Structure 1
Amino acid sequence: MTTNNSPVVVWFRQDLRIKDNPALLAAHKTGHPILLLFILDEENSGEWKLGAASRWWLHESLKVLNVTFEGNLCFKKGPAQKVLMDVIKEAGAAAIYWNRCYEPWRIARDAHIQETLQTKGIEVHTCNGSLLFEPQTALKSDGTPYKVFTPFYQNGCLRNGNEPRQPLKAPKNLRLSTYKGVALKDLDLLPNIPWHKKLAKHWEPGAAGAQARLKAFLKSGLKHYKEGRNYPSRNNVSRLSPHLHFGEISPNAVWHAAKQHMGAEGWRKEGETFLSELGWREFSHSLLFHFPELPRKNLQKKFNTFPWRKDLKALKRWQQGQTGYPIVDAGMRELWGTGYMHNRIRMIVGSFLVKNLMLHWHLGEDWFWDTLVDADLANNSASWQWIAGCGADAAPYFRIFNPVTQGKRFDEDGEYVRRFIPELKKMPMKYLHNPWEAPEKVLAEAGVLLGENYPLPIVKLSDSRERALEAFSGLT
């Protein structure tokens, strides 16, 4: 028997916030006390358990959220269904609320949990708190999913002037129920070696950090976003991706804040470009939802016979930023030092791995999964398939980024390379992106010893390009 004092459970997942949290608001409206629960379920996640950088971020974000709830957030570890059954039974809860997640393993698990709970008379309420448009709603007229971004965005998402819903207000005077869990440290999210401490210099996990990041971007980044987002040394990208992944801010809040700002300032083109980037996030989630094997299987089947090379030494040099190509190495070192990489640079290092080195895109996907604070299964797998040419709306196989010309074009003053490759700090601009072409005197004056304090190129660009084109053109 339930009474008005029987608690309802709010199960937090990728929605670590109070503002615009549909599940939390729905639970609050019942008038029942709310049992706030977070479960670290690493038994159902399989190979997609959190990478190291994501674990650090999650730890910090949960710490912030628990402070917001004055220590009333209950932490548990284990298979979610068993944990939920135990908590609901012991607390005498009659209902549970959660915001939906869209990774294939979570969809399967959650469906089973929902069915099991409902057969036991427990009310289950699920909401959308993660996406602007749910994948099953943005379909073609024949009911099939889009595989090309522009029609997906314009006709699937924004058809007939359709707009994302306005963000919901935060519930006031939450009536909380306490339930004893484990300490946050007992989730073992932090590694034994404190390498993650360097990440803290660059990020502020949590809802307040997300709001501050959005405010800073709207103030100083949006104005020149359309062009400036291509230059890694400029302050024109939002860096909201980890905050969005962990749900510290909703995409609806970001969408409408940007829309309002671009209207007030007259930055329509800049704003529309930024909103379309939120659209790409939606597109990636749609692809993962409709093609759940996206993280491991080529969407274009002809790539199943592609002759990927096996070269662990080359892979390690790519991971460590020791390829001999400065723009590639700067990107890989930015990733290792900050848990992040500028989007233009992600395309360059990705192209270099799969096309110049001809190493499988899975290897890049796995490295990003472990080292990015914004590692997101939909974005990560869709983007790697895009750069490899085997995905939906993919880059054509013959599009191979030249790291020298990309560096000269998008790091024209050398600020980005010099920041992350200090051994090249004194190289003149003429040779910064191609130091192997510099005369001995220039190298000596810059203190650069190729093959000693900075590597010689791992491959010759022209040869590796020809090798890749030959392999790609052989696909039928």
Structure 2
Amino acid sequence: MTSPTLVWIRRDLRLSDHAAVSAAVERGGPVIPVFLRDDLVDDLGAAPKWRLGLGLDHYAASLEDKGSRLILRSGDARAVIPALVKETGADAVYWQRAYDPDAVARDKDVKAALKEMEVEAESFAGHLMFEPWTVETKQGEFYKVYTPFWKSVRDRSVSEPLSAPSSLPAPETWPESETLEDWALGVAMNRGADVVRPFVQLGEQAAQSRLGAFLASKVADYDRTRDIPGMDGTSNLSENLSLGEISPAQCWHAGQRAKEEGKAGAETFLKELVWREFAYHLMWHTPRILTDNWREEWEAFPWNEDERKAEVKAWKQGRTGIRFVDAAMRELYVTGRMHNRGRMIVASYLTKHLMCHWKIGLEWFKDCLIDWDPASNAMGWQWSAGSGPDATPYFRVFNPVTQLDKFDKDRDYVSRWIAEEYENPHKDALAYFEAIPRQWKMSANDPYPDPIVPPDEGRKRALSAYENRSF
């Protein structure tokens, strides 16, 4: 019998359109899926780590339906993967590529160790549609602006998604596995887990259903409704894409079919998929976007970096007195996600009205988002702050009051997430007080606060700092 193949599972919790799994099955021998809890997993924030645990549990069940199982191990990949190869007699290890710098360095070390053992080690595409090193300008450089990037890839061929294997050949003896219960990936969520859980759409089948429902009934009005936070007008697929419960190629081909059928909004959906690709393209070529100002001249800008300031605390707690900001921050705490229009508003308010460093917001989202994605989170924050590629100009300061009048005219969004001003608050607004830490000592009976920084005053302060910058 052919020796086993280890398939190292990472952010790709699906069986369809999974090149590494398909290649392992095609080899003809036993297939041993393994997930490794290493430092990169331990460094995840509370919400994404909890969501990962849910995803792994669901994925393990889907493997069992195929006659397989998911082996869990913890430790340094450079030691654990080679040790598991020796333990199982595997002569090949397959995985799908990651693109953040820490994962890239880890994977290179693992691949080198396996080659020294004369074990086949192969990585596959799958988390992206266009490998970052394959998209170049005519001058052979990487793209720094989204629109030319979109134009360069919009007509490219994207491989047709692979079908899920009907079964995964099992080894005669399975290696021992650790347990998700012992890992306790959700412990940092505390009581918030029970509040957020009903908003989770878990697993590959749910992701496909989301995509199908969006393209069947919502994509026609997507150009308009995607900006209305009080409406369910988006695909909501970011949660599933972040953990690979659906592939971007599956979304792309479905979107292309919708476009060919003449459905308005389909091309905009495709552009959003490419915006995600652009974020990874930038992270690959300029990994500093994760930790430092992408535009290096912004290092001199006088942002506040003290998270202990009362203004920062009010922003995190959804108590700024600015309804659009507070509603969005509370949506985040109850659902683990935030409408994209809300993300732009809260980011602009933090970095401009409050003059706080975008890193404070990036870290808060990293802790609170169940759809956290390293590339998209970093690019989104730097885009809003003005320090990133293809950024909104710093002097463009969103007015959160007029934005609310424009995008939440009937206050559907605000009334869903803010309880203090309403006699009969929405259940989701009340759920916020069940999710937050008790030490915040907040209640739905509290008076709604006055603005900590009035919009006009914050805008003037931001523009003054910009005009007097030393770069």
Identity within the alignment, %? 41
8 Å contact from structure 1 (residues 220, 235) kept in 2: no
Residue in structure 1 matched with residue 418 of structure 2 by the alignment: 421
Partner of 2:183: 187
| Per-residue Cα deviation, 1:283-334 (whole angstroms, up to 9, x for no partner) | 0001100011111111111210111124621111000100001111000000
- Specify the alignment match of 1:281 in structure 2: 276
The match for 2:387 is 390
Given residue 162 of structure 2, which amino acid in structure 1 is its aligned partner? L
Of 407-416 and 210-219, deviating more is 210-219
Cross-structure match for 2:320: 323
Alignment-derived partner of residue 134 in structure 1:
131
* Matches of 1:256 and 1:51, distance apart in 2: 32
Match of residue 174 from structure 1: 168
Question: Of the candidates 261, 285, 291, which is equivalent to residue 290 of structure 1?
Answer: 285
Answering whether residue 355 of structure 2 is matched by residue 361 of structure 1, we say: no
Q: Partners in 2 of 1:425 and 1:410 — Cα distance? A: 20
1:61 partnered with 2:55: yes
Q: Distance in 2 between matches of 1:416 and 1:453?
A: 19
CA distance in 1, matches of 2:22, 2:204: 16
DSSP 3-state at the match of 1:112: helix
Provide the residue aligned with 1:465 in structure 2.
459
Q: Secondary structure at the match of 2:252?
A: helix
Specify the SS of the correspondent of 2:133.
coil
* Preserved CA contact (<8 Å) 2:132 2:284: yes
| Alpha-carbon offset, residue 142 of structure 1 | 2.0
1:453 is aligned to: 447
- Kept after mapping to 1: 8 A contact 2:18/2:162: yes
Structure 2 match to 1:199: 196
Bigger shift: 184-193 or 13-22? 184-193
Corresponding residue SS for 1:419 = helix
Which among 338, 341, 350 is matched to residue 338 of structure 2? 341
CA displacement 1:122-180 (0-9 Å, x = unmatched): 1011100100101000111222111000101112x23xx31221111112232123221
Deviation by residue 1:377-406 (Cα, 9 ceiling, x = unmatched): 100001101000010000001110101000
Distance in 1, Cα, partners of 2:217 & 2:47: 27
Deviation at 1:11, TM superposition (A): 0.4
How far apart are the structure 2 equivalents of 1:96 and 1:426?
Answer: 60
Instruction: Check conservation: 1:77, 1:187, Cα contact below 8 A.
Output: no
- The one-letter amino acid paired with 1:187 is W
Distance 1:299 1:79, change over 3 A: same
SS class of match (1:76): strand
TM-score, normalization: structure 2? 0.91
Bigger mean CA deviation after superposition, 232-241 or 211-220: 211-220
The amino acid across from 1:301 in the alignment is: E
Deviation at 1:426, TM superposition (A): 6.0
Distance 2:388 2:167 in 1: 47
Q: Of 221, 237, 240, which residue of structure 2 is paired with 1:240?
A: 237
How far did 1:40 drift? 1.1
- Which residue pairs with 2:228 in the alignment? 231
Pairs aligned (count): 444
Distance 2:459 2:420 in 1: 27
1:263: how far off? 2.4
Quickly say closer, same or farther: Cα 1:413–1:100, change in 2 above 3 A. Answer: same
Amino acid at match of 1:50: L
Tell me the distance in 2 between the aligned counterparts of 1:270 and 1:26: 35
The whole-number CA distance in structure 1 between the counterparts of 2:318 and 2:286 is 33
Partner residue in 2 for 1:430: none
Equivalent in the alignment of 2:13:
16
Distance (whole Å) between structure 1 residues aligned to residue 37 and residue 184 of structure 2: 10
Contact 2:192 2:334 in 1 (8 A): no
1:119 lines up with 2:116 in the alignment: yes
How far off is 1:216 after superposition? 1.9
Contact 1:400 1:465 in 2 (8 A): yes
CA distance in 1, matches of 2:196, 2:210: 16
Paired residue secondary structure (2:99): coil
1:306-321 matched pairs, under 5 angstroms: 306-309=301-304, 310=306, 312-321=309-318
Q: Using structure 1 for the length normalisation, give the TM-score.
A: 0.90
Aligned to 2:151: 154
Partner residue in 1 for 2:252 = 255
Tell me, what secondary structure is at the counterpart of 2:403? helix
Distance (Å, rounded) in 1 between the aligned partners of 2:184 and 2:320? 34
**1:180 partner amino acid:** E
Shift of 1:252: 0.4
Unaligned runs of 5+ in 1: 428-450
| Corresponding letter in the other structure for 2:62 | T
Counterpart Cα distance in 2 of 1:217 and 1:150:
25
What's the offset of the Cα at 1:469? Answer: 0.5
Query: What CA RMSD, in Å, does the superposition of the two structures yield over aligned residues?
Result: 1.8
Partner of 1:436: none
Q: Which amino acid aligns with 2:229?
A: P
Q: Is the 8 A contact 2:32 2:170 kept in 1?
A: yes
* Secondary structure, counterpart of 2:83 in structure 1: helix
Select which of 266, 269, 276 maps to 1:271: 266
Q: Distance in 2 between matches of 1:346 and 1:87?
A: 42
Letter in 2 for 1:342: H
